[in-house]
């Protein structure tokens, strides 16, 4: 039928044809956008609710971060106190000194008297009196006392070594730096 139309009518039919094609194309594109929009609408609401929830939880997290920082500060203070306490010298009881002397006395030494002299809370002198079975036991007692961490010097008078057996003795023990802080 288009063959029977004059050339101006043919032109008009072709223009009308392309107008219909373009209008249907844009109508289909519009319908597609509406359909996609309808499908994306629940996603939009879901994401907006999630974003709002994250904003609220971010506020809560900032409070938690503040409390974590406060806890961290308290832990650092506790660590500092702990470090100070571990660096502080330990105090040694006088009974520990007596037990130490008895421990290195052994079986061949009889300790009759231990005298601990203190001044201003510090041990300044320790004197030990007793009897030894023999000279070797007394020398070993002196050596053990010198090896002890509590005493820096042991004074054993030579007159105590004059006898061979059943030797009465008197030792003067000078406290070491470790013992200077004893109670």
Residue-by-residue pLDDT tens, the chain, 183 positions: 567 778 888 889 899 999 999 999 999 999 999 999 999 999 989 988 888 777 766 666 666 666 777 888 889 999 988 888 776 555 667 777 788 888 888 788 888 888 888 877 677 888 988 888 888 888 888 888 888 888 888 887 777 677 778 888 888 888 887 666 544
Distance between CA atoms of 154 and 127, rounded to whole angstroms?
Answer: 10
Same domain, 114 and 143: yes
Domain that holds residue 160: 94-181
Q: How many domains does the chain have?
A: 2
Q: Strand 151-155 relative to strand 109-119: parallel, antiparallel, unpaired?
A: unpaired
Same domain, 101 and 168: yes
Domain boundary among the residues 70, 87, 104 is at: 87
Same domain, 66 and 107: no
- 102 and 111 Cβ atoms separated by less than 8 Å: yes
Distance between CA atoms of 54 and 17, rounded to whole angstroms?
Answer: 54
End-to-end CA distance of the chain: 126
CA nearest neighbour of 125 among 60, 180, 87, 183:
180
Domain boundary among the residues 41, 70, 87 is at: 87
Strands of 33-164 (E only): list them.
109-119, 122-134, 151-155
């Amino acid at each position: 039928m288009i063959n029977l139309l004059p050339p101006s009518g043919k032109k008009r039919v072709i223009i009308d044809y392309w107008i219909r094609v373009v209008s249907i194309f844009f109508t289909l594109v519009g319908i597609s956008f509406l359909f996609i929009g309808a499908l994306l609408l629940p996603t939009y609401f879901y994401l907006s609710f999630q974003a709002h929830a994250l904003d609220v939880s971010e506020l809560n997290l900032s409070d938690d971060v503040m409390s974590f920082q406060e806890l961290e500060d308290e832990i650092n203070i506790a660590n500092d106190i702990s470090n100070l306490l571990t660096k502080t010298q330990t105090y040694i009881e006088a009974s520990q000194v007596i037990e130490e002397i008895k421990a290195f006395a052994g079986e061949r030494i009889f300790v009759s008297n231990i005298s601990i002299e203190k001044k201003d809370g510090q041990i300044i002198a320790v004197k030990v009196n007793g009897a030894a079975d023999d000279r070797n036991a007394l020398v070993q007692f002196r050596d053990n006392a010198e090896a002890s961490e509590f005493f820096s010097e042991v004074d054993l008078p030579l007159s105590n070594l004059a006898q061979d057996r059943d030797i009465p003795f008197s030792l003067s023990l000078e406290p070491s730096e470790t013992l200077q802080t004893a109670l």
